[in-house]
Chain A
C-alpha cells in the first residue's frame, strides 16, 4: 500500500463573515520556525483591505448598538470555541513560534484566558470610565463611553496568538469593528481564529482578517478615510514605517495607538489602555425633572 499523501492546505482571507480568495489571486508559503512547509496563505492586496473596511463599516451599526451584555456573551462564546480548537491552536502556535508542546499549551491557555478577561469588560467598562459629573445647575450630567468606529489593527509579528488576541479583543469589546492584518510569517493561528469567529456568534464583518505583507495593506488602511482608528502594534521596532503610517493617518485624524520600540511581553497584565484607546466619551446634559 502506498503512503498517504498529506492534504496541503491553502487558506483564504476572512472578510465579511466569508472566506474569499485574495482579489490579487496571490498566496504565499508559510513555513515553521525551521523553514519547513506548513501551508499556503492568501496574500492580501489593497483591494482586499478596501473590501474588509467596507464589510467592517457595514457591520458597525449592528455590533455597536448591541447591548453590552449581548456583546459580552458573544465574545465569551468565541472563547468557548477557541477552547474547542485548543489542540489545533497548540500545534500552530508551537510550529509557528518554535515552542515546545508545554510552552505552546501555556501560551494558548493564556490567549483564551485573555479573551475571556476582555469579554468580561463588555458590561463593566462603562462603569469604570463613564461618570456622572457634578455641575452647578439643575442638570444630570453624565459621560458614557462609545465605540470609535472601524479600527484597523496591525497584529504583532512575533506573538501569533496571544499578541493577536491582546490587540483584537479590546477593540471588539468596546463595540468597534476591526480589520486585522495578521503576522506575515506566522499567520496560521490568526487564520484559525478567523474560523473560530466564523463559527461563533460574531456577526460577519465585525472582525476581518487579512494575511500577507503588512506593507501591502497597512498604507491603505492608514490612509482610508472610512477607518477611524489604527493600532500599529504590528510594525513595532520599524520606526520609519510607523512614522509613514502615522502621517497617513493624520488626514482624517484617526486615533493612533503608536508602535512600541520593540514588541512587548504580551503575558503581562494588559490593563484597560487598549480598550479605552478606541472609545469616545459622550457627555450628556439632562434637565432635572420636577
Chain B
C-alpha cells in the first residue's frame, strides 16, 4: 500500500497558502509528494476488482451507479434532437419502470447547453458542459474563460474543463494553476470538474501531482479523461485519484469529487469502481455529489442488469433505446 499523505510529517507542517504562493514552492510541494507504488496500486485495484457483489448489494449498486451517471454525448454530429432525446432518457431512463432513479447529469458541448436546459426544465438532472477548448484545451486563456462564461450563462450547472497537458508535462505548474483558478472564477456558482486526461500523463506519479495541483487550484471534482484519448479511465488511475481526494480532505477539510470517464460500458465495471470508492475514499464518496461516471452506453447495460434482477430473465438490447 502507498503511504497516506496525512502520515507524511512534512505535509502537516506545510501551510497550503504557502504552497501556492509561488511556482517554486508549488513545484517543491508537488515533487515532494510520495511516489505512487506502481505495482502496488495495480495489484490493489485488481484485488478489489475480484469482489463479488450479489443480490441486494448488487441491486443497490446498480441503482446507485445509475444515479451517478453523467449521460454524455460529445460528438461532432450531435444535434438538438439527439440532446433532447438524451435529456428525456436522463430523467426517466427506463420508461417501463418508474422506480429507476434519474441520472445525475447530462454532459454536452457548450452550444447545446441551452437545448439541454430547456429540455430538462425543473428536473433534478443537472446540465454539465465541457468547456475550455475541449478536448485538447489548446486555446488562449481568454477563449477558455469566454467559453466557460457562455456555458454558464446558457444554464450549465457544472463545467468540465481540460487542463493544459502540454504545460503540465513541461513543468509549468504555475500556468496550469492560474488557468484553473481563472476558469473557476468564470464559473461563478457552477461546479468545476477538471479533466486531467490521465491517458496523456504517462505515469501514476503525474496523476497524483496533477490531482493535487488542480485540487489546490479550486477544482470541485477531478475527472480522469475526455473519452477522446485511449487509455481512458482505468481502475488504478482512479485509485490514485481517490487516494488524492481522501488525503486532501484529511489535510484541508475540503471534500472533492471524482469522475472516471470513458471506456466504462458494463455493469460489472461500474460495480468495480464503486467497490474501489468504498474501500479507498470511503462511504462519504458513495453519492452522486461526490462520484460520477462519465458514460453513455453504460446506462443501457445497467438497465438490462436491473431488469434481469427483477424479472429473472436476461434482457436484450432490443428493448432499450438506442443512443
Contacts and interface: CB of A to CB of B under 8 A. Distances in A.
A42 to B, nearest CB: 20
B314 A220 contact: yes
Interface string A222-235: 01111100000000
Nearest to B312: A223
A109 B314 CA distance: 39
**On chain B, which size bracket covers the interface?**
under 10
B314 A251 contact: no
A191 to B, nearest CB: 25
Classify chain A: how many residues form its interface, as a range: 10 to 19
Nearest to A226: B316
18 contacts: A50-B314, A220-B314, A223-B312, A223-B313, A224-B313, A224-B316, A225-B313, A225-B314, A225-B315, A225-B316, A225-B318, A225-B319, A226-B314, A226-B316, A227-B316, A251-B313, A252-B316, A252-B319
Interface of B: 312-319
Contacts of A248: 313
Which 5 pairs, one residue from A and one from B, show the smallest C-beta to C-beta distance?
A226-B316, A225-B316, A223-B313, A224-B314, A225-B315
Contacts of A198: none
Interface of A: 50, 53, 220, 223-227, 248, 251-252
Given A50-B314, A225-B314, 17 more contacts: A53-B314, A223-B312, A223-B313, A223-B314, A224-B313, A224-B314, A224-B316, A225-B313, A225-B316, A226-B315, A226-B316, A226-B318, A227-B316, A248-B313, A252-B316, A252-B318, A252-B319
Contacts of A223: 312-314
B58 to A, nearest CB: 14
Contacts, number: 26
Contacts of A224: 313-314, 316
B317 A226 contact: yes
A40 B83 CA distance: 54
Contacts of A50: 314
A251 B317 CA distance: 15
Most buried by B among A50, A224, A227: A224
A252 B317 CA distance: 12
Contacts of A220: 314
Nearest to A252: B316
Contacts of A226: 314-318
A223 B313 CA distance: 6
B316 to A, nearest CB: 3
Nearest to A227: B316
Contacts of B312: 223
Between B313, B314, B318, B319, the greatest number of chain A beta carbons within 10 A of the residue's beta carbon is seen for B314
A57 to B, nearest CB: 8
Contacts of B318: 225-226, 252
